[in-house]
Chain A
Amino acid sequence: MTSPFPDSPGAPPPPAGSGHTTEDLLSRYATGAIDGLSAWSVEAHLMACARCRAALSSYVDARRLARNRSMILVRTAIPAGGRVRRLLRRCGIPDHVVSLLAATPSLRPSWILAVMGVLALVVGETALTSHGWSGHGSSGAPWAKDYLAQWTLVPYLLVAPLLALAGVAAAFMPMFDPSYQLTVAAPFSGFALLLVRTTSALSAALIPTVCAGLLLPGPRWLPAALLLPSLALCAFALAAVTIVGPIAGAVSSGVLWAMPAVLLVVTAIENRSPLEIVQWRGQAACAALLLAATVVFFLRHDRIESGPDRFGIRRMR
């Protein structure tokens, strides 16, 4: 502690036995009882002297230091999600909602990979079969009239809304939430939680689905035309949940979509296009279903709050 401050070259070394003076300076610096200029010199010295830096620690309340320390260690332990979180926050989404999204099953990488995998299969299969068709010499008619070629789109038609439904089902089915009992016992509104999860699940499912649709041979409007059916299916599922419970709701919704598609295939009629499901009459039906389901859901949304053994059917006396 007796060496001169390095930034004053040529300054004479302080008189012997004045180590305490430097400590005195430090203490006055720490308590603010020092003028600005001397403080600058102290700070310049601090940058070079580890011992004086360490000595300053004793001037800060130990509990304050400990508290900041534990806060830092907790915050490092919560993966920030980095860019994704910051992007979401900049979109105005509050921070606690972002934390909830981290726990949503349908936003996990494994889930998204599975979705992409299914889509890749569907697209691949469609591409193969349509190549097969054209290899066998198609009728040469324009796409709109080429029903044979249109049948290759059936897998995609079938799968796309079901993927969206699966994502939403993962949002409300207890088996996908490992800490489901905590979710029920917590004051946070089950309804709000469901909305957050459903919205994020829908976006996560629809974006790859639409992209995959654009890759397919076929009308350009096809992916857009599947939006309304997807939304209608999900709304139906949510409404069904408030009536018959989570599992039955999800299953019934899936069946609702799969059945017409399967019927169409089974009763394959040469001059009917599978795309009729998503054309004007189909869209109108989906819009009506969406509207009705949304109304039912909002009327009965308080059923969502209840416990795992009874999903809102019976009331407590």
Chain B
Amino acid sequence: MPGAEERDDAALLRDVANGAEDALAALYDRHAGWLTVRLTRRCSVPDVVDQAVQDTFLALWREAGSYRGGGDVAAYIWGIGIRRLIDAIRREGRTTRWLPWRAAEPQVVVSAEDQVLLGVEHGRLGQALAGLSPELRGAIEATVLDGLTTGEAAVLLGVAEGTVKSRCYRARQALRAALAQPQGGPGTPAPRRQAWGTP
């Protein structure tokens, strides 16, 4: 039997479905790090993130059989992880007073080099997104990027569901407005259709 390092994620997941704890441990060693970091960006309370991470791998243990092999294992894990985070926030929210969950977003300007790397500069959509306020961007991130329902996004952002809906609406309006503006000078490349951002 190949060592854990050589088995790919899908093979590990199959082994987990067959009840191999070492496969679960191997998956944990591979994925727990980035999952923790990514969840921390949505909820800055370490205790809650720890619970979410544990619940995620427990869910993997119980439901690895339901992974249909389509799409990336990392994306599958993220899908489970973000929902376990929301459950954990719901449970915490019942007993503790509402605290600022999200890490405050710094007003850091990305260097020109990094912009090239990220391709952000290339998208008018990117610029339009950058022009949104953090709250509207947060709503878009939760509903579009993370694929949450408005109800789930409401738990994550710590606002009412109606607020999430109206923020999404305003964000879409703002994006449409920004994209509808006439093109800049000749040096500006044509806008690209990005994968996300479908209003």
Contacts and interface: CB of A to CB of B under 8 A. Distances in A.
Chains A and B directly touch (beta carbon < 8 Å): yes
Interface in B55-79: 57-58, 61-62, 72, 74-75, 78
Contacts of B137: 36-37
Interface string A1-29: 00011011111101100100110010011
A48 B195 CA distance: 14
B37 A59 contact: yes
A39 B53 CA distance: 20
Contact of B120 (A18, A37, A54, A68): A37
Interface centre among B28, B37, B57 (most CB of A within 10 A): B37
B150 interface: no
B119 A32 contact: no
Interface in B112-143: 113-114, 116-120, 122-123, 126, 129-130, 134, 137-138, 141
Interface residues of A, number: 53
Contacts of A38: 110, 114, 118, 120
Nearest to A76: B61
Contact of B46 (A41, A52, A54, A64): A64
Contacts of A89: none
A60 interface: yes
A12 B106 contact: no
Contacts of B120: 8, 37-38, 41
A69 B105 contact: no
Contacts, number: 145
A163 B187 CA distance: 89
Given A43-B38, A46-B34, A65-B33, A7 B195 contact: yes
Contact of A34 (B50, B106, B117): B106
Contacts of B117: 4-5, 11, 14, 18, 21-22, 25
B107 interface: yes
B51 to A, nearest CB: 9
Given A25-B114, A56-B34, A56-B37, A37 B119 contact: no
A47 interface: yes
B33 A75 contact: no
A176 interface: no
Contact of A65 (B36, B58, B72, B103): B36
Given A34-B108, A68-B54, A76-B21, A14 B30 contact: no
Contact of A7 (B105, B110, B119): B119
Contacts of B41: 32, 39
A37 B108 CA distance: 11
Given A7-B119, A47-B72, A64-B36, 9 more contacts: A8-B120, A8-B122, A11-B119, A35-B108, A36-B134, A42-B118, A46-B34, A52-B34, A69-B25
